[in-house]
Structure formats: C-alpha cells, structure tokens
Amino acid sequence: MTTTTARRRRSDGERSRRTILRTAARLATVEGLDGLTIGRLASETGMSKSGLFAHFGSKEELQLATIDTAEEIFEGEVLRPALEAEGLARLRALCERFLSHVDRKVFPGGCFFASAAAELDTRPGPVRDRIVAIYGEWTALLEDSVRTAQERAELAESVDPAQLTFELNAMLAEANGLFLLSGDPRAFDMARRGIADRLERAAA
Amino acid sequence: MTTTTARRRRSDGERSRRTILRTAARLATVEGLDGLTIGRLASETGMSKSGLFAHFGSKEELQLATIDTAEEIFEGEVLRPALEAEGLARLRALCERFLSHVDRKVFPGGCFFASAAAELDTRPGPVRDRIVAIYGEWTALLEDSVRTAQERAELAESVDPAQLTFELNAMLAEANGLFLLSGDPRAFDMARRGIADRLERAAA
DNA sequence: CGAGGATACGAACGATCGTGCTAACTTGTC
DNA sequence: GACAAGTTAGCACGATCGTTCGTATCCTCG
C-alpha cells in the first residue's frame, strides 16, 4: 500500500507563506485576483519570484490560497464578532460589522469577495466556483439569521427571508462600491439608514 | 496663423473603428478593461495588432474610446427608451430598462459600468475618472426623476431623493451581480419586487 | 552531530504584453 | 488621373508574464 507522505512544513516556510498570502489578499482587492502577479507579489514581500512560486506550484493555487486567507480575515473581522449575537441582533451585527470592515479598510480595495465576484463573474473555473460558494455561505448566513429572528418573533412571519436578504445584501454591496468610487463615508450612512428602515418595516 | 488640421477620417477607417470598439465593449465586460488586450482584440476582429493599434495610439485611448462606445450602447438600450416617460413612470422605466438590458445580455458580462467600476475602483487615472463621471450622471438622472415625481405629487415630499436613489441603485446592481454569479433570472424578480415595494412606500 | 528534506535563489525558457518603425495599399480631392 | 492623406500589415523591440531547473542554504529530527 502506498503511504501518503504528508509533507510536513517547516516553521520558517509556514511564516513566509502567511506573509505572502496576507499581502496577496490585500493586493488582490486593488489589482484584482488576475492582476495579482507573481513578480509584483515577490517584490512586495522582498522574496524572489521562484522562491515565492515554490510555495504554490501554480498561479491558480496561489489564487485559491489567497481566497482562503481572505476568508480567514473576513471571519475574524466580520463573522466571529457578529455571531456572538443571535436573531435580529445578529442580523444587525452582520450588517454593521460588514460596513465597518470596509470603512476600516481591512482590505484596501473594500470587500474582498465583492471585488473578486465582479472580476470572476464570467470566467469559469475553480477560482470562480470558490467565490460563488463563499457568496452562497454568506447569503445563507443572512437568511438563517432572518429565519431565527422570525422564530423569536423579532421579525414578522410574513417576511420572505430570501427577499429581505437580497435587499440587505444589495445595500451593503452598494455602500462598499459607492465608498470606493467616491471616497465619501456618507455611503455607509445611507446604507445604515436604508437597512434600519427596511428592518423596521419587517418588524413583527 | 496656424491652421488646425482636423484629421478627417476615411469611411473605411471609421467603419473598422466602430467594429473594433463594439467588440471591445462586449469583451471588456468579460475580460475587464485591463484584461482587454490588443492582441486578443486584433484576433477577435481579424485585424493585425499594429493595424488595430494605429486607430488609438495607446491602450489608455482605446479604453477611453471603449467606454464612450459602451455609453452609446447604454443610451440606446436603457436611457433613450426610458426618457420617453416622465416623473415616476420614468423612474420605473429606468429601473426596468436597466434590468432588461442585463437580462437580454446586451453586454455578455452584464452592466458595463458596474464591471468597470468594480475593476477601476482603486486605480487612479483618467479611465477611472471617466467611469466615476458616468456613474455620477446615472445617479443624478435617477435623483432628478425622483424630484420630478415629487413635484408631480407621485412621490411624497418627505422622501430623500439621494436616499431613495441609493436604495434603488443598490437593488439594480445586486440583481446584475447575482444574475452573473448564479445565472438565475429570479435575481431580476427580487429586484423588481424590492423596487416596487420601495416605491410604494415612497408614494405620496 | 549528521543526514535529509524543506526553503530560497538565480538564471533562463517561451509566450505575450504594449508600442514603435517602415512600407504597401486604398480612398478622397483637385 | 495624380497627389496627399488615411488605413493596414509586417517585423521587431524591451518588458513582463507564468513556469522550470539546478543549486546552495537552513531547519529539524534521529
């Protein structure tokens, strides 16, 4: 039988890999996941092209690893803090943490996944599939929060969870886009006001 | 005195220029305005790289001309038909024509300007400036329609035009993005429902 | 401490990028 | 019908793309 040789990594390699991927995640929101180039990333991290490349084996693997890293950052900045609340409060917290993470420029090019989704929209392949899956998880999380809020009688039974999620998501994404285009933080205020109004209307 | 030699174009050159730019506008929504490459565009139109390049002189000029062409197409498909109506009907028509032009795949990658805005968000320069200006004009058109609808007592005086525009724009853009990601035309239904609800709530 | 594997680098590859140069041809004008 | 100007192609350039290979170095484990 073939013993699967699990290549154990060295600590220094692990560390530079993290450094590379954190830089890549930030850079990708500016240059795009495709515009993210090996040479640029190498000079940004002070490594050689070949040394950096050896960590991934292909550009596609680098992109997938970058997405994983962006997901971890997003979890830490948005999801984990918001998941401490429940029901309607969780829904509000998810929206607020999302807006906050754009405002605080966790990624210099705004929401990583909004940027990646717009870029990979029409380009089939595993990278796009990964982005679609993550978008689906985010949407499902919002919808679940709506449903829980309904069970707790914080939102009306008559509310369509998918519809409400669509509208909330729309305002979050638009705030992200408008802020990036205009640089005006009033984009967040408009999103907050729109979301608050919409939730009030959906209240039980 | 120096006579300004206005370079008059020849009819065959004008025709191929149009062909190139129409192809470029479609292609840019898939590959991106930066991913739009001279060589790709040349082979797509059956021209030589240098012959095509001579029309523009630089890639940036090509990008700017492509944006102009996309604007003309957008005017024909969305603006002109909608501007026949007035007030609230115009506002509804603008939304409906926008959704329709995405659904009909006027551009294979959805709304040209949503795609370009997401790409150029964070990259300063004349190309970005042009996209920002066009986004501003679109927003101003929506806002003006809201104001006119208020003057005609079709929408309540208490409505904040900028806020309503933000929310409508958000749902249009989200429908565009969601449709491109999922391929599911129910994205348009959710946008229509959300917009109808929002306008009903804003009615006088 | 010695061995083995992970890590990193330098050099080089074919391909493609945007961009020039030159020359051939078409078109429109007098 | 000739001449000027606009149009297109061919070829080549330096740069950069993703990728490969050989080699030197460092960490880790026995």
* Residue A70: closest CA among A16, A103, A15, A33: A33
Query: Which of A 35-94 have CB under 7 A of nucleic chain C?
Result: 46-52, 54-55
Neighbours of B68 (CB within 10 A): 14
Whether B40 CB is under 7 Å from strand C: yes
8 Å CB contact of B109 and A121: yes
* Distance set, CA A10 to CA A7, A55, A58, B70, B153 (Å): 10, 12, 20, 52, 71
Contact assessment for residue A198 and residue B170, using Cβ atoms and an 8 Å cutoff: no
Neighbours of B144 (CB within 10 A): 14
* pLDDT, position A4: 47
Cross-chain CB nearest to A174 (options B121, B169, B201): B169
Which of A111, A121, A128, A174 is the best residue to mutate to test the B interface, defined by the most B CB atoms within 10 Å of its own CB? Answer: A121
Which pair of tokens denotes residue B19? 């062909």
pTM for the model stands at 0.95
Give bridge partners of residue B155 from the DSSP assignment: B203
Contact assessment for residue B89 and residue B60, using Cβ atoms and an 8 Å cutoff: no
Secondary structure tally for chain B: helices H, strands E: 10, 0
Q: Mean pLDDT across the stretch B81-101?
A: 98
- CA-CA-CA-CA dihedral for B187, B191, B197, B200, to nearest 10: -150
Q: Cα(A110)–Cα(A173) distance, rounded to whole angstroms?
A: 10
Q: Cα(B4)–Cα(B8) distance, rounded to whole angstroms?
A: 12
Q: What is the pLDDT along chain A (204 residues), one digit of tens a residue?
A: 444 456 778 888 899 999 999 999 999 999 999 999 999 999 999 999 999 999 999 999 999 999 999 999 999 999 999 999 999 999 999 999 999 999 999 999 999 999 999 999 999 999 999 999 999 999 999 999 999 999 999 999 999 999 999 999 999 999 999 999 999 999 999 999 999 999 999 997
Round to the nearest angstrom and report the end-to-end CA distance of chain B.
62
Sequence-distant (≥ 6) Cβ neighbours of residue B51 within 8 angstroms: B42
8 Å CB contact of B32 and A119: yes
pLDDT per residue as tens digits for the range B110-151: 999 999 999 999 999 999 999 999 999 999 999 999 999 999
* pLDDT, position A6: 61
Whether B38 CB is under 7 Å from strand C: yes
* Distance set, CA B156 to CA A190, B21, B148, B149 (Å): 19, 43, 11, 9
pLDDT per residue as tens digits for the range B8-66: 788 887 999 999 999 999 999 999 999 999 999 999 999 999 999 999 999 999 999 99
- Provide the residue type at A55 as one letter: H
Q: Is B87 on the interface with A (CB under 8 A)?
A: no
Reported as a pLDDT band with limits 50, 70 and 90, residue B80 is very high
Contact assessment for residue B122 and residue A29, using Cβ atoms and an 8 Å cutoff: yes
* Distance set, CA A78 to CA A34, A194, A201 (Å): 25, 20, 25
Q: Does residue B1 have a pLDDT over 50?
A: no
CA of A3 to C1' of C1 (A): 29
Residue B155 backbone phi and psi in degrees, to 5: -125, 150
Q: Cα(B8)–Cα(A14) distance, rounded to whole angstroms?
A: 62
8 Å CB contact of A135 and B181: yes
Q: Cα(A11)–Cα(A64) distance, rounded to whole angstroms?
A: 22
Q: Is B79 on the interface with A (CB under 8 A)?
A: no
